[in-house]
C-alpha cells in the first residue's frame, strides 16, 4: 500500500482497511476515499447512460476519438478488433482487453462498436501478431489516447513469458507493464508461433547506442513469470536464442513491483502517465494560492461518477522558504494536512499533492501554512502539544530577517557573530582597592570602521558570497547612527539618523544637551537591531539559523531540497514536557521526479561555550525520538570541536540511536560544528579543506542520505564507526 499509494481504496470485505491501519481514510467529515467492492461496481444514471460510481468513463474517450479521428474517415487502414468469448478469456482481458458481461454495463461494448466498427476476432497467435505488428487495434487501444506515458527506467524491449492459466502470472504481467516499456506478453501456449517475432525483435533492438564512444549496444530482456520452472525457462530460451547474437538479450525473473523499502520509504520507478500539464508562477495572497485546474480534454464536463481524474500539484519556492511545501505522506490518514480550500484533500504522496476531481474548468485553491503551523498541527495529530518557545520566537525573527535563510550567509562567519554578540552585550569594569567587578550592560553599537575592516577581511576569505554592509543594513541587522557622550553623566549615547537634532536627550539620565556641532567627538556607529540585539548569541538563534541553513543549502548546492522548518518549540504530552531548538521535514528530491518519504528532524543548537552540550539537552532529544520512532536527531555547536565530556554524552546517545527498530535505526544522530555551519560553499568542500579526520573524498550519497550523513559525522567527531561495530558484533 505504501508502495502503490492508491488514491481510492476498495475493500473486497468490510474491515480489511482497518486491519492494516487504513481505516482513517473513511472519515465521516470527508467524502470517503474508502469504498466497498459493491460500491465500485454500482452504477449511477446520468440521463443517457449508467456510469461507474467512481472513475472516468471510457465512453468519453470513444466519443472524443470518434469525433476527432473516425467521424469522416471512409476507410480505416488499421481495423479495430472485438474478441469472441471463449476459454482464453483471462488471456484476452490481460493482453487485448474485454468488456463487462453485466447487462447494465453492456453500453461500454455498444459505444465501442459504434465508434470503431470492430471486426470479430478469436484469440490466437495470428491475432497477437496483427496487434503487436501494428496491423490491428485491440479494445485496449483507446485507453492510451491523449495520454503521455513517461518511462522511468529502461526503454528497451521486454519479452514477458508466462503461463496464462496461472493468475499470479497475469498479475505479474500487469505489474510489469507499470515499470517496463515496451512489454511484449508471450504466452507459453503460443511460443512456437511467436518465436520468430521474438528473435527478429531482439535482433532489431540490438544496435549501437547513439553517441556512445564505447560501442555499447541496446539489449532486450526476457523475463519469466514466477510460475515458470527453471527447466521450462531454459527450453524456452533455446527455442529463439539460436538466431540471436551473443549479448543481445539477458534473462531475468519477474520482480515487480520492484522497490526497496529503505530509510526513505518505498522507492519506485513506475511510469508517469499524464493527460495535460501546466507550469505556473503563483503569488501567495492571504496565505493561499489559486490556479486553473488541468483536465482531460476528452472528458465531459460533468460525469456521473466521482473522482474522475487526479491532478498532481508540485509546489516549489525560489530557494529556502518558511512556507510548508514538504509534508510526510498521508496515505493512511488523509485528515492532515487539509489544505484544499472548498474541497477534499490533498492526498500527499511521492508524486506530489493529489487532488481528486469531478468536473473540469474548475479552479484549485490551496492554503499555504507556515512551517511552524504545519509541524505543530502534525505533532498535535501525534498527541503532542507544541507551541513556539521564547528562544524559538527570537530565532524565527532572525530567519525572517535573513529572507527565510536565503541570506543566512551574512552571519555564516565566526568573527561576524562575535562582533554582533559584543554589540548586544557591553562589559564595564569597576575597580576598588580589593576587588575588580565586571558587569555586563547593553551596548549594541560599534564604530563603522570596525565593520568596514571585517567586511574587507571576509571578502578575501570567501568565494561564495560577496558580503557588503548594505546587505546588513537592508536586512535590518545593523542601523547607522551617531555616537555622542552625555556631558552630564558621560553615558555613551547612540542616535539614529531620524533622532539627531540641535538638542538631544541622554538615554540614561534623560537630561538634554546641545549637539556638539564644532566638536570632532561625534562618530558614525552601527547599532544592532531586532533579534540581533538579544544577548547571549541571540539566545542561541545564530546556531539555530545556521544549522537550518546547512540542511537547506550546504548539503546540496543545486537546490533539490524539500524542507519545511520551524524554530524552537515547547513540547508537551503524557510522556514528557521538553523544549527543542528546531524541527523540520527534510527530503532530498531525486532524479526523474521521484521523491522519497521526508525525514522528521529535531535538534539542539548551541554556541561557543566550552561545555555547551549538557545531559538534559540530549535527554530532551531522546524522549522525542522515543515518542516518534525514526526521528533524526541533530546536535550542533558553533565552535569547531566538541569537548571530551560532550563526546562521552554524545556517544551514549549515538549508541542508543543505533538500535534497530523494524529494520531501521531507532534515531540516527547527526553532529555538526562550526566546520559545517560556517562552510564557505558546501559541507563537502569544507571537509576537504580541513583534512583528517574529515574525509577528502566522501561519497556523494553521504550528502543525500541523512542516515549516511549521520554515520559520517559520528566517525569524524567521535571516532566511532557503525559498520565496524556491526562487524565486531557478528564476529563475537
CA–CA distance from 192 to each of 186, 197, 376, 500 (Å)?
10, 10, 64, 98
Among 377, 297, 237, smallest CA distance to 56 is for 297
- Classify residue 89: in a domain, yes or no: yes
Whether 488 is covered by a domain: the verdict is yes
* DSSP strand pairing (220-224 vs 158-162): parallel
Domain of residue 684: give its range.
537-731
Domain assignment present for residue 158? The answer is no
Question: Residue 155 falls within a domain, yes or no?
Answer: no
List of residues 6+ apart from 55 with CB closer than 8 A: 305, 307, 308
Task: Provide the terminal-to-terminal Cα distance of the chain, rounded to the nearest Å.
Answer: 39
Q: Region 557-570: what's the mean pLDDT?
A: 87
Q: Inform me whether the pLDDT recorded for 440 exceeds 50.
A: no
Does residue 298 sit in helix, strand or coil?
coil
Query: Of 105, 120, 147, which residue constitutes the final position of a domain?
Result: 147
- Considering 147, 172, 187, which residue would you say is the last residue of a domain? 147
At 427, is the pLDDT very low, low, confident or very high (cuts 50, 70, 90)? low
| Grid cell digits, residue 302 | 460533468
> What is the count of structural domains for the chain?
3
- Specify whether 644 is located in the same domain as 721: yes
* 78 and 120 within one domain: yes
Residue bearing the bigger pLDDT, 39 or 189:
189
Asked if 572 and 555 sit in the same domain, the reply is: yes
Nearest by Cα to 374 from 416, 330, 427: 330
**Same domain (yes/no): 509, 610:** no
Domain assignment present for residue 256? The answer is no
Q: What is the pLDDT of residue 563?
A: 93
Reference 274, options 352, 193, 183; nearest CA is 352
Of 32-41, 121-130, 690-699, the least confident: 32-41
C-alpha cell at 222: 526476457
Rounded CA gap, 97 and 94, in Å? Answer: 6
How many whole angstroms separate alpha carbon 308 and alpha carbon 172?
27
442 lies in the same domain as 552: no
Are 590 and 715 part of one and the same domain?
yes
* Long-range contact set of residues 66-75: C-beta below 8 Å, sequence gap at least 24: 66/114, 66/115, 66/116, 70/115, 70/116
Q: State how far the Cα of 340 lies from the Cα of 330, in Å rounded to an integer.
A: 14
C-alpha cell at 167: 493468475
Residues 559 and 708 in one domain: yes
Q: Give the torsion through C-alpha atoms of 100, 105, 106, 107, to 10 deg.
A: -130
Contacts of 706 (CB under 8 A, 6+ apart): 263, 586, 599, 601, 632, 668, 670
DSSP string, 545-602: HHHHHIIIIIS-TTS-EEEEEEEEEEEE-SS-EEEEEEEEEEEEPPGGG---PPEEEE
Nine-digit cell string for 235: 527450453
Does 173 fall in a domain?
Answer: no
- Distance (Å, whole) CA 346 – CA 349: 9
Mean pLDDT value across the chain: 87
What pLDDT band is residue 438 in, cutting at 50, 70 and 90? very low
- Same domain as 720, residue 654: yes
**570 and 704, same domain (yes or no):** yes
Q: Is residue 638 part of a domain?
A: yes
Q: What is the 3-state secondary structure (H, E, C) of 347-406?
A: EECCCCEEEEECECCCEEEEECCEHHHHHHHHHHHCCCEEEECHHHHHHHHHHHHCCCCC
Residue 694 and residue 600 share a domain: yes
pLDDT digits (tens, 9 = 90+) for 1-11: 888 888 988 88
Q: Looking at the chain, how many residues does it have? A: 732
604, 618 Cβ separation under 8 angstroms: yes
- Same domain? 499 vs 609: no
Which of 16-30, 496-510, 700-714 is predicted with the least confidence, judged by mean pLDDT?
16-30
Assess whether 489 and 610 both reside in one domain: no
Last residue of a domain, one of 122, 147, 172: 147
Question: How does residue 401 score in pLDDT terms, banded at 50, 70 and 90?
Answer: very high
Strands 249-253 and 220-224 turn out to be parallel
d(CA 375, CA 571): 12
**Tens digits of residue pLDDT in 100-147:** 887 777 888 999 999 999 999 999 999 999 999 999 999 999 988 888
Report the pLDDT averaged over residues 301-305: 72
Q: Which of 195-209, 317-331, 538-552, 585-599 has the highest mean pLDDT?
A: 538-552
Is 498 part of any domain? yes
> Does the pLDDT value for residue 303 go beyond 90?
no
Amino acid at each position: 500500500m505504501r508502495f502503490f499509494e492508491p488514491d481510492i481504496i476498495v475493500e473486497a470485505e468490510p474491515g480489511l482497511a482497518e486491519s492494516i491501519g487504513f481505516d482513517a481514510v473513511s472519515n465521516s467529515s470527508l467524502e470517503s476515499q474508502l469504498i466497498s467492492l459493491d460500491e465500485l461496481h454500482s452504477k449511477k444514471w446520468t440521463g443517457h447512460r449508467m456510469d461507474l460510481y467512481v472513475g472516468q468513463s471510457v465512453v468519453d474517450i470513444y466519443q472524443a476519438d470518434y469525433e476527432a479521428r473516425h467521424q469522416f474517415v471512409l476507410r480505416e487502414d488499421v481495423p479495430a478488433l472485438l474478441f469472441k468469448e471463449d476459454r482464453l478469456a483471462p488471456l484476452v482481458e490481460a493482453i487485448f482487453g474485454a468488456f463487462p458481461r453485466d447487462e447494465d454495463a453492456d453500453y461500454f461494448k455498444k459505444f465501442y462498436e459504434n465508434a470503431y466498427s470492430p471486426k470479430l476476432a478469436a484469440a490466437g497467435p495470428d491475432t497477437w501478431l496483427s496487434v503487436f505488428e501494428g496491423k490491428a487495434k485491440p479494445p485496449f487501444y483507446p485507453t492510451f489516447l491523449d495520454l503521455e506515458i513517461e518511462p522511468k527506467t529502461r526503454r528497451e524491449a521486454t519479452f514477458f513469458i508466462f503461463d496464462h492459466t496461472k493468475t499470479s502470472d497475469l498479475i505479474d504481467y500487469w505489474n510489469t507493464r507499470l515499470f517496463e516499456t515496451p512489454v511484449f506478453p508471450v504466452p507459453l501456449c503460443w511460443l512456437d508461433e511467436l518465436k520468430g517475432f521474438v528473435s527478429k525483435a531482439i535482433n532489431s533492438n540490438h544496435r549501437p547506442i547513439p553517441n556512445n564512444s564505447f560501442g555499447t549496444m541496446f539489449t532486450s530482456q526476457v523475463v519469466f513469470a514466477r510460475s515458470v520452472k527453471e527447466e521450462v525457462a531454459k527450453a524456452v530460451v533455446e527455442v529463439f536464442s539460436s538466431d540471436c547474437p551473443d549479448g543481445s538479450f539477458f534473462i531475468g525473473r519477474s520482480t515487480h513491483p520492484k522497490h526497496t523499502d529503505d530509510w526513505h520509504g518505498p522507492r519506485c520507478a513506475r511510469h508517469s502517465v499524464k493527460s495535460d500539464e501546466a507550469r505556473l508562477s503563483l503569488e501567495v495572497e492571504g496565505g493561499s494560492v489559486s490556479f486553473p485546474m488541468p483536465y482531460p480534454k476528452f472528458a465531459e464536463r460533468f460525469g456521473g461518477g466521482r473522482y474522475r481524474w487526479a491532478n498532481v500539484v508540485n509546489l516549489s519556492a525560489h530557494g529556502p522558504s518558511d512556507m510548508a511545501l514538504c509534508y510526510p505522506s498521508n496515505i493512511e490518514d488523509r485528515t492532515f494536512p487539509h489544505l484544499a480550500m472548498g474541497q477534499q484533500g490533498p492526498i500527499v504522496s511521492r508524486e506530489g499533492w493529489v487532488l481528486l476531481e469531478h468536473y473540469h474548468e474548475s479552479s484549485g485553491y490551496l492554503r499555504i501554512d507556515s512551517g511552524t503551523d504545519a509541524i505543530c498541527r502534525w505533532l498535535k495529530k501525534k498527541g503532542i502539544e507544541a507551541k513556539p518557545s521564547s528562544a524559538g520566537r527570537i530565532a524565527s525573527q532572525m530567519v525572517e530577517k535573513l529572507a527565510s535563510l536565503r541570506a543566512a550567509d551574512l552571519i555564516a562567519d565566526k568573527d561576524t557573530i562575535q562582533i554582533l554578540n559584543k554589540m548586544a552585550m557591553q562589559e564595564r569594569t569597576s575597580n576598588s582597592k580589593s576587588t575588580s567587578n565586571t558587569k555586563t550592560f547593553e551596548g549594541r553599537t560599534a564604530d563603522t570602521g570596525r565593520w568596514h575592516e571585517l567586511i574587507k577581511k571576509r571578502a578575501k576569505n570567501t568565494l561564495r558570497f560577496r558580503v557588503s554592509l548594505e546587505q546588513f543594513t537592508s536586512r535590518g541587522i545593523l542601523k547607522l547612527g551617531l555616537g555622542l557622550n552625555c556631558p552630564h553623566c558621560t553615558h555613551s549615547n547612540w542616535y539614529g539618523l531620524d533622532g539627531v537634532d540641535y538638542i538631544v536627550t541622554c538615554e540614561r539620565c534623560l537630561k538634554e544637551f546641545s549637539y556638539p556641532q564644532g566638536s570632532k567627538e561625534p562618530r558614525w556607529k552601527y547599532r544592532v537591531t531586532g533579534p540581533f540585539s538579544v544577548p547571549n548569541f541571540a539566545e542561541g538563534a545564530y546556531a539555530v539559523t545556521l544549522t537550518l541553513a546547512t540542511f537547506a543549502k550546504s548539503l546540496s548546492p543545486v537546490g533539490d531540497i524539500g524542507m519545511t522548518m520551524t524554530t524552537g518549540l515547547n513540547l508537551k504530552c503524557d510522556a514528557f514536557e521538553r523544549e527543542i531548538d528546531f524541527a523540520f521535514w527534510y527530503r532530498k528530491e531525486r532524479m526523474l521526479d521521484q521523491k522519497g518519504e521526508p525525514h522528521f528532524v529535531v535538534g539542539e543548537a548551541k554556541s561557543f561555550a566550552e561545555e555547551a552540550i549538557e545531559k538534559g539537552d540530549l535527554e530532551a532529544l531522546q524522549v522525542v525520538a522515543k515518542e516518534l520512532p525514526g526521528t533524526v536527531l541533530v546536535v550542533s555547536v558553533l565552535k569547531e570541536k566538541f569537548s571530551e565530556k560532550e563526546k562521552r554524552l554524545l556517544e551514549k546517545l549515538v549508541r542508543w540511536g543505533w538500535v534497530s527498530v523494524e529494520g531501521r535505526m531507532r534515531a540516527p544522530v547527526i553532529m555538526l560544528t562550526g566546520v559545517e555551519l560556517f562552510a564557505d560553499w558546501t559541507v563537502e568542500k569544507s571537509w576537504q579543506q580541513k583534512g583528517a579526520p574529515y574525509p577528502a573524498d566522501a561519497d556523494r550519497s553521504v550528502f543525500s542520505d541523512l542516515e549516511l550523513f549521520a554515520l559520517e559525522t559520528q566517525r569524524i567527531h567521535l571516532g566511532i564507526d557503525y559498520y565496524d561495530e556491526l562487524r565486531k558484533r557478528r564476529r563475537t
